[in-house]
Structure 1
Amino acid sequence: MDGAADRLAPVLRPVRAGNGFEEALEQILQVVRLGLVPQGERLPAERELAERLQISRVTLREVLKVLQDEDLVESRRGRYGGTFVRVRTAGPGEAGPQRRIERIDVEDTLRFREVLESGAAGLCASHGLTDEQGTRLRDALAATRDAPLTDYRRCDTMLHLTLAELSGSPSLAAQYAAVRASVNELLDRIPLLVRNLEHSQTQHGVLVEAVLDGDADGAREVAREHCGGTAALLRGFLTGPAG
């Protein structure tokens, strides 16, 4: 293992199957922002990165495409080509393409969201939904599937608010509405990634089916995994190094 690989060892690790794209993106963002690969230098080869993260080359290329779109890396062809960290000049008060916010603020919001979402999903599944409530949940899911990109976040929010409301706890629903507003403020600071939305839609479908099937444990687990994917993206784009 060469020196560059040694530098990346504390950050790059196999991702979990459920959120491979999001977690891989989070880790490579951290590599770039921590300066583990200095500006102007080349990232490890695609084959090595894919092996270390245990993702497919296709997924890795999608991750690298996002980083290129955000002007964090650039691709060069030829014998000495590869993916290189761009040399950037941050303006006053900036830290890269997105203004950095405090890690503690992000973590608090994301942890509270996960508790509320998994709790709401478990409650809905355990006490069961009426036919009318089940139809409302299915309709909210269908709206996210049919939504254009410009309206996706609103429909996504409505799906999760519906789940919180159907939990039967007005206090939980009120708290979720508040934390969701904070989550949306964070999401507005990062790019809308089609790959992530497709993955989210798959998880939405599994979550709704678990709720309707009365599988409380399954519903809670899918909700946690779903929140984890969003959390990985937000940490990667918005927070600085820990410590």
Structure 2
Amino acid sequence: MNERLELHIFDMGGSIVAPDKPDVTYLHSFLDFLNSWLEKNPSHSAIIVIGGGAVAREWQKALKELAPFSSSETLDWVGVMATRLNAELMRGLLGTLCPDPVVTNPSESFPFNGRVLVAAGWKPGFSTDYDAVILAERFKVNTITVLSNISQIYDKDPSVSNLAKPISELTWNEYKKLAGSEWHPGANIPFDPVASERASSAGLKIICAAGNDFENLAAILRGGEFTGTVIGP
């Protein structure tokens, strides 16, 4: 794997790729944004880690109804396969920008010959957030940008509380108190607890932001002011 001078890791929630079906309009817009960013500097490159999102949760829900005693490992494998479906969609969209296969095991050797690399779920026990952390460690990237359908993390669930307030900055200890310490298949949280432990130990910074606000994303990438939540040491 060649050295990447300006590599960014995007941890993209599956629910913005395919909320109920593939969001073709969003994906076209994301590709336009990515192309524009890559063209600005030949040293720019990206790893995009894709989650399972709604697809994973719906298929896991179906399995729970069909086989109520399914193990967490079995449910997780369903989620892993959903991430790989979404990742293959992204890889196909990127075309020549991503000539290499989707990475499904971030701990093994893999090629990175294009400007962009796409990664998906690895194995049960955690979400693709964990895969993003491993990749950040391997490539010595200090910050992961988490893109989802929310613009910031809230102190309470905004869907059930009108008193929920957005949070601009959290330490890892503060975030862990909000998110808990255990991973559950299909959990819908900003950054999974298993990944949080590893990211915290590695001293990584996480930026959680809306995946569909491209002006805001551009500000993040150039180090400007942005709307989002920063989690760090």
Indicate whether the TM-score tops 0.5: no
Structure 1 length-normalised TM: 0.23
Larger relative CO (CA 8 A, sep 6+): 1 or 2? 1
Greater gyration radius: 1
Higher helix share: 1
Structure 2 length-normalised TM: 0.24
